[in-house]
Amino acid sequence: MRSAFGMFLVVAQLSSAPIYPAGAGPVEDVLAVVDDANAAFERGDFKEGFRLLRPRDEHEEALRLLHPLAGQGSASAQTQLGIIYLSGLGGADKLTEAAKWFRKAADQDVARAQNFLGALYQMGAGVPQNRTEAVRWNRKAADQGYAPAQCSLGQKYATGYLVPKDVIAAHMWLSLCTSRGHDAALDEREMVEKEMTPEQIAEAQRMAREWKPD
């Protein structure tokens, strides 16, 4: 299943390949192109995401444009900086920088940044490994209705990874994820259903119907 955590793993492998939004000039263009690439990654279209973020030598320009906005408190710019540093750009201590900017955006309730920050805590990348923080930030993003976070949280409950195994919660989160277009979660939900009673499935379906974002 593709998820923001899965995107983190893919992007982290690009440390040797500088990325820069091709053809972008003004900072608004930088933000728009990176947003489009992020959306492609999150729906599982990695080919399109990488097409939008083609290797270029001018990636320092993106950092130059984004840093002032991020420093002024722009949560969007902070999130984009985190992604750029996560991809391996920007010099030493890249993961530490990524975590720093994701944290600033996460504190402004940006669900994407919260989910990335949770993944970093889960891996112990750029921050000390802390499974409690990993789940906390994952849940914050999921509670806002961020589908990749809901998929990730559903997987955790399905397997008992980082949280106590709970097939009802797993089914609910995976159902919410699929309702937002992440069809890959259907297979995992079907696997969970094999461990559930009809009553448990009905309860999970009720919880999904009644769920509302924070």
pLDDT tens column, 102-122: 999 999 999 999 999 999 999
Give the sign of the dihedral formed by CA 180, CA 185, CA 191, CA 195: negative
Q: What is the mean pLDDT of residues 185-203?
A: 96
* Contact (CB, 8 A) for 148 and 132: no
Does domain 1-144 sit in CATH 1.25.40.10? yes
Give the sign of the dihedral formed by CA 143, CA 145, CA 149, CA 154: positive
Which residues, other chains included, contact 72 with Cβ-Cβ below 8 Å and sequence gap of 6+?
Answer: none
Q: What is the CA radius of gyration of the chain?
A: 18
Residue in this structure with the two tokens 């950092």, named with its chain if needed: 63
What are 59-64's contacts with CB under 8 Å, separation 24+?
59/18, 59/19, 59/20, 59/84, 59/89, 61/20, 62/20, 62/21, 62/24, 62/30, 62/34, 63/89, 63/90
Instruction: Say what percent of the chain tops pLDDT 90.
Output: 56
Amino acid at the residue 88: G
Q: What is the mean pLDDT of residues 72-85?
A: 89
The whole-number pLDDT of residue 21 equals: 42
What is the token pair recorded at 169? 């919660």
Q: Structure pTM? A: 0.76
What is the token pair recorded at 161? 């990874």
Which residues, other chains included, contact 194 with Cβ-Cβ below 8 Å and sequence gap of 6+?
Answer: none
Indicate where the chain has its CATH 1.25.40.10 domain(s).
1-144
The whole-number pLDDT of residue 170 equals: 98
